[in-house]
A and B are shown apart, each in its own frame.
Chain A
């Protein structure tokens, strides 16, 4: 019954690797997002997709590539991981400008 689900919950990997985080929402929302929470708990939007179309891209390095196969899924692929990519990544969804529903986050640790 989870509304916005992300996998994996934890991800530990080495510098230079490529990894993906998956997100699915079963709320029927038309817009999905990726937010990043850094070590100081500061949250910032990375991307937003509406009906599989990219609408927000907030000066994120092009090593980060979101992919939306359908409006219920928004995956995040990260190439050539760096130490500074360590953070908690949150997926979220919304409908018609209404408040966001967040997933429980994926804690990425790059060693």
Chain B
């Protein structure tokens, strides 16, 4: 069975500081990896995904994540955060033949302060 662990439930950070949200997973089969973002009272939006190919994936708003198979990790990073990045971030994994069945981590609340 698969599982996802987000190591930090809350990450407070000052504006323009770098941030890393950690995610580790366990699975006996090949997986796809995702980060979703949830702004207050909204649904989940896909931030970025790893399906295959380059292990470093980037989003359009400056986030990036690196798939590390040996460490079974998919940490999310941003070199300089904005107030508007304040949200809940979810790491998720799915088996490669069950793309829609996502197993989510517990979420990390990113709070960016001025």
Task: Kindly provide the distance from the CB of A59 to the nearest chain B CB, expressed in whole angstroms.
Answer: 13
Select which of A4, A33, A43, A98 is within 8 A of B104 by beta carbon: A43
Interface size (B, Cβ < 8 Å)? 22
Residues of chain B contacted by A96 (CB below 8 angstroms): 99
A33 touches B100 (CB 8 A): yes
Task: Kindly provide the distance from the CB of A57 to the nearest chain B CB, expressed in whole angstroms.
Answer: 11
Q: A90-B43, A102-B45, A104-B43 in contact; A48/B104 too (CB < 8 A)?
A: no
A42 touches B106 (CB 8 A): yes
Residues of chain A contacted by B104 (CB below 8 angstroms): 42-44
Asked whether A66 is an interface residue with its Cβ less than 8 Å from the other chain, the reply is no
B102 touches A100 (CB 8 A): yes
| B106, closest chain A residue (CB) | A42
Asked whether B49 is an interface residue with its Cβ less than 8 Å from the other chain, the reply is yes
Residues of chain B contacted by A51 (CB below 8 angstroms): none
Asked whether A56 is an interface residue with its Cβ less than 8 Å from the other chain, the reply is yes
B90 touches A100 (CB 8 A): no
Select which of B43, B96, B97, B101 is within 8 A of A103 by beta carbon: B43
CB within 8 Å of B: which residues of A? 4, 31, 33, 35, 40-45, 48, 56, 90, 92, 94, 96-105
Identify the 5 closest CB pairs spanning chains A and B, nearest first. A97-B99, A102-B43, A104-B43, A43-B104, A102-B44
